[in-house]
Amino acid sequence: MSPPKPGDTIGNVKMTNKPIRFVLFDLDNTLLDRATAFGRVFEHWYHTLPAVNRPQDKAEFVSRMARRGHGNEPIPEIYQDMLDEWPGSFPSLATAAKAHFDLMPKAVSLHPKTEAMLKCFRSRGIPVGVVTNGGSETQLGKLRNTGIAALVAACVVSEEFGARKPDPAIFRHALNLIGAKSDSTLFVGDNVEEDIVGANRINMRTAWMSLGRPWNSGLPRPDYILDAAWEVEGIVLQNPVT
């Protein structure tokens, strides 16, 4: 399949001919499929935690909990619901949350097409970075275990940096690390407020990972609406870096 050209569409958004020379990605539900990782985590719990009070239908339980990985619910809220449904599965909410964060770096995986895209950008000299909210140990573990850390020029984690998206400071820090200007950088993410609104505030181009959702926020639309992270390759290569 040839790269998209100006006038083509990705999702519901028309391509433009303005060059994109740098790319910043969100991590969860953008470069990584968080829902799939949730499914692996909760399947692991189903087989390893005490069976007393355990939900009878494993497939339904795992599927339902995996779907919560699509959103941005606080992990303690998800596990409080699990403890209400499955009393005794963990000795406490704090224990459950810690166990989740410890296991997640081992549960995530990088899609081969996303990996190929990142390797393509690296081979073409297109600087790429990652900007993610979350705890340093968990997020850096995901970046290392999936190989993303070795494929990008910079990784910025909110806990380590000291500010969270949509704070302009974390975006500017990432831009500085990869030597980028905001108006020639594409930011790709799934969260409307944190990723799209935040990046737009400092004049970055934006691409929204739809995850099957319609754009109905009432806010200005992103430049691109995507179904998969690897579609970014076609967007960037419409105007190769010279």
Residue 176's contacts (CB-CB under 8 Å, 6 or more residues apart) are none
- Sorted by where each starts, the structural domains of the chain and their CATH numbers stand as 9-33+109-237 (3.40.50.1000), 34-107 (no CATH)
pLDDT at residue number 113: 98
Q: What is the pLDDT of residue 72?
A: 85
Q: Which residues contact 71 (CB under 8 A, 6 or more apart)?
A: none
pLDDT, tens only, 22-43: 999 999 999 999 999 999 999 9
205: three-class secondary structure by DSSP: strand
Measured between alpha carbons, how far is residue 213 from residues 12, 74, 190, 225 in Å? Answer: 12, 20, 10, 10
Distance of CA 35 to the CA centre of its chain: 11
End-to-end CA distance of the chain: 23
Question: Which residues touch 157 (CB under 8 Å, ≥6 apart)?
Answer: 132, 133, 134, 135, 136, 139, 140
Grouping H, G, I as helix, E, B as strand and the rest as coil, residue 234 is: helix
What pLDDT was estimated at residue 11?
Answer: 46
For residue 239, the model assigns a pLDDT of 58
Q: Which residues pair with 132 in a beta bridge?
A: 157
pLDDT less than 70: residues of the chain = 1-18, 239-242
Query: CA dihedral in degrees (228, 229, 234, 236; nearest 10)?
Result: 150
> Residue 218: its pLDDT value, please?
82
- pLDDT of 205 reads 96
Residue 216 pLDDT: 80
Give the pLDDT confidence of 128-149 residue by residue, as tens digits.
Answer: 999 999 999 999 999 999 999 9
Kind of pairing between the strands at 205-209 and 128-132: unpaired
Dig out the tokens for 218 from the structure.
Answer: 């009432």
CB distance 25 to 139 below 8 Å: no
Q: How far is CA 236 from CA 24, 95, 153, 213, in A?
A: 12, 43, 17, 23
**pTM summary value:** 0.89
Q: State how far the Cα of 124 lies from the Cα of 154, in Å rounded to an integer.
A: 17
